[in-house]
Structure formats: structure tokens, C-alpha cells
Amino acid sequence: MFATLNDDGSYALTGAGYTLLVVILLAVFLLGVFIFGRNRRKSSAKQMAFSAMAIALAMVTSMIKFLHLPMGGSITLFSMLFICLVGWFYGLGSGLTAAFAYGLLQLIVDPYILSVPQMLTDYVFAFTALGLSGVFSKAKNGLLKGYILGVAGRYFFAVLSGVIFFGTYAADAGFSSPVLYSLAYNGIYLGVEAALTIVVILIPPVKKALIRIKQTATDMDTE
């Protein structure tokens, strides 16, 4: 009902499958904002707006690819940063919620499904890990620390998926071990994008601008 089998062994989502994902996405996003919003009225509305903008920017920039690897994975225009911003703004719970929604959007837009465990690892767990940036929402240099933690979380699940579901390609790529293959393969696109993003975050004018945006996003509206 929700997916059909392709000739290459992967699955393609049906109309019912896409509909189900959209319903889950909206439900989780709204529930997350309601639960983790600081205030059930104005602050929650502002949080929803900023989180939605961050997810939208992440989706747009994820489509701007400087390098696309043959087995999936791309160096994008700082797409992971926008998701990590939500965690830095509003904390761990909100960050994980936004990142989970982003993972479902990626699944809707560009799905590659071999099995349910692979789908969960590549799309749900890997992208949701970006929300770990919320761990450092109140720390000094919290965005930098949170971004590194979020990308490290995504890298962990990407490597895990590579070992379990794509390890058979290691020999073709000249690697004797699926673990080394997955570490190197996923390290190429995630490592390069992370390094470039960190350089941008550390530029003083950019750093100050991001701090101002956070203040705007988190300031309580007055009555």
C-alpha cells in the first residue's frame, strides 16, 4: 500500500506512502512545538515560524550541491547548519523535533529505500541527530559546539548504515573493510561541509549576526 518494489531492489513510495509521511511530519512538528514551546501562545507561534523557516532554508540549500557522491551523500550549501540552529535557539527537544521533520522531508523529496531499518537509519536517525545541537543551546560558543555534535551524530548513523547496508561495495572501492569504507565515504561529504561551515560560523560578522538572530527568535513578546 505504501511502497512498491523497483527492479534494482529498492522501494518507491506510493501516493499513500507520501501522504502518510506528510501527515506524520505535520503531526510531529506541531506536537513538538506545543510540548517544547516556552509559552503556549506567542512564544510557541514565534518558535514555529523560526523553526519552519530554518527547515525550509535547509531543504533549499540541500538541493544546492557542490559534490554528489554516486552512492548518495552530498556537499551542500550549509544545509545542516540551518537545522542545527533550531536546537541552538530552543534547546534539545525542539532541535530533535525539527531535525526529525527535516529527515522526513528528505525522505519525501529524495527517497532511496532498501528496507525499513535502512530507511530509519539513513533518514530518521541520521538527520534527527542534527538536533543534538540543542545540548549546547545555553553554552558559550554553543552553536559551534552544537553543530559539531549534531554533525558527529549524523556521521555516526551514516557510517552505521554504510557498514550494514552498503558494505558490499567496499571491495569495489578498493577497501578491505566495510568499516573503513564507510568511515571514508561518509567522511568526505560530511567532513568537508562541516569544515567549511565551521569556518563561516567563526567569521566575526557572521557570528554576531547569528547571535542577533537567536535573540530575536527567543525574545518573549510583550503584551
Model pLDDT for residues 17-35, shown as the tens digit of each residue:
778 777 887 787 677 766 7
Which cell is 30 given?
A: 506541531
Other Cβ atoms within 10 Å of 23 Cβ, number: 10
Please name which of 147, 124, 127, 151 lies closest in space to residue 137, comparing C-alpha atoms.
147
Cα distance between residue 221 and residue 49, in whole Å: 14
Angle at alpha carbon of residue 58, lines to 141 and 22, rounded to 5°: 125
pLDDT of residue 221: 46
Model pLDDT for residues 84-113, shown as the tens digit of each residue:
999 999 999 999 999 999 999 999 888 888
pLDDT of residue 222: 39
Cα distance between residue 216 and residue 201, in whole Å: 18
pLDDT of residue 25: 72
- Output the DSSP codes for 68-101: E-TTS-EEESSHHHHHHHHHHHH-HHHHHHHHHH
The total number of residues shown for the chain amounts to 223
Cα distance between residue 181 and residue 15, in whole Å: 35
Cα distance between residue 27 and residue 108, in whole Å: 15
pLDDT of residue 12: 77
Q: With contact defined as beta carbons under 8 Å apart, do 100 and 131 qualify?
A: yes
For residue 207, the surrounding DSSP H or E stretch is helix 204-218
Please give, one letter per residue, the 3-state secondary structure of 38-52. Answer: CCCCHHHHHHHHHHH
Cα distance between residue 31 and residue 36, in whole Å: 8
> What are the residue ranges in the chain where pLDDT is below 70?
8, 29, 33-34, 36-43, 220-223
pLDDT of residue 121: 95
